[in-house]
Amino acid sequence: MPLKKSKIITIKIGSSLLVDKNKKVRKKWLSSFARDIQKLKSENKKVVIVSSGAIALGCIKMNYNKKNLKLDKSQAIASIGQIELMNLFSNTFTRYGLNISQILLTLEDTEKRRRSINAKRTFENLFNLNFIPIVNENDTIATSEIKYGDNDRLASRVAQITNSDTLVLLSDVDGLYNKNPKLFRDAKLIKKVENFNEDLKNIDFKGITEFGIGGMNTKIEAAKICQLSGCNMIIANGLYLNPINKIIKKNKFTLFVSKVSKLDARKRWIISSVSPKGELIIDDGAKKALKNGKSLLAAGIKKIHGKFKKGDHIKILDKSNKECARGLSSFSSNEVKKILGHQSEEIEKILGYTTKSEVVHKDDMVEI
């Protein structure tokens, strides 16, 4: 059981766990969850909670229908709901001797290296002060272009930043099934995933389930981020009382086993990007060079997709559109369009100024 061995645990809870279908706050559930956290803390484990619910609680307070909200109105409702959410956590957790703090993050806070490091230091200081960070996406200022849009991927990024050993995604199903358990009685729970290509090759995620904003697809994306970051991930049913204790005792969940990561912190951050800005399609020669630890040169690039700036995260794909690496681009997308397919010594003449010869330097790249 990975939770017993974990020293740092990130737990993500969705709006449906805090608010029921009748728009009533599930106070009894939250109290049971607090008791679970109290138990983890008594075992000297560090805990981070990524929670949805600000907009849902704001809608309850203002008597609004969430489905009818436009972005600007939802930002205001989120601002109102944030206070409701943190009061709910504070009032509940204080009864169990648990100290909480709040961290609001946007996509840019984790995708920009300097901001990511600042966030990491904040988490570490809160751990030292014996406080439990409650993380929310900053819906009050985030626009559609800079939103995670789902807390599964936000939670995976938080798990990576905090060096968590395990990420727990509390859902409304027992885990990942081979088919939709709400439609098929013979659906089987997949207990363990070690290799995505092998273990999940016959599953169509579009047909599995549609819950939350992202559905099962975003949970799979979160699992991939965790696996490459050296973090286990669990998808489990959080609707029960004492959900964490139930996971430990019942052993009913899907476990995504991490790869033993020997990457340094910078490369773990690169591989864990949830919002690459573009894609470079490379030829077989460039792919072979990357496998041998070489940098990506312009001559090996065949096509480019997306718009990005120098220093942005990008994906590197082979001719079959299979991702083979991620990295930070040394050029903007406009520059890459001009130099792709050309030799390094031609770059200065094409662009009209001196620059690097590597489009993605080997130190800024992680092979997948």
Work out the burial of residue 361: count CB atoms within 10 Å of its CB; fewer than 13 is exposed, 13-18 middle, 19 or more buried: middle
Intra-chain end-to-end CA distance of the chain, in Å: 27
Quick one: pLDDT at residue 272? Answer: 75
- H/E run at residue 48: strand 46-51
Structure tokens given for 164: 């968590």
pLDDT tens, residue by residue, 140-176: 555 554 455 578 888 998 998 898 999 999 988 888 8
pLDDT tens, residue by residue, 177-197: 887 777 778 888 889 988 877
Q: How far apart are CA 153 and CA 167, in angstroms?
A: 11
With a CB cutoff of 8 Å and minimum separation 6, the contacts of 365 are 270, 290, 295, 296, 316, 325, 326, 327, 328
pTM of the model as a whole: 0.76
Mean pLDDT of 214-235: 82
Quick one: pLDDT at residue 67? Answer: 72
Quick one: pLDDT at residue 106? Answer: 78
Domains defined along the chain, listed by start? 2-268 (3.40.1160.10), 276-367 (2.30.130.10)
C-alpha dist (Å) from residue 333 to 109, 204, 328, 365: 22, 33, 12, 17
pLDDT tens, residue by residue, 95-127: 999 999 999 887 777 777 778 888 889 999 999
Of 21-30, 140-149, 215-224, 251-260, which gets the smallest average pLDDT?
A: 140-149
pLDDT tens, residue by residue, 3-32: 888 999 999 998 889 988 888 999 999 999
Q: How far apart are CA 223 and CA 100, in angstroms?
A: 26
**pLDDT band per the 50, 70, 90 thresholds, residue 368:** confident
Structure tokens given for 191: 């207990």
Quick one: pLDDT at residue 261? Answer: 62
pLDDT tens, residue by residue, 30-69: 999 999 999 999 999 999 999 988 888 888 888 887 777 7
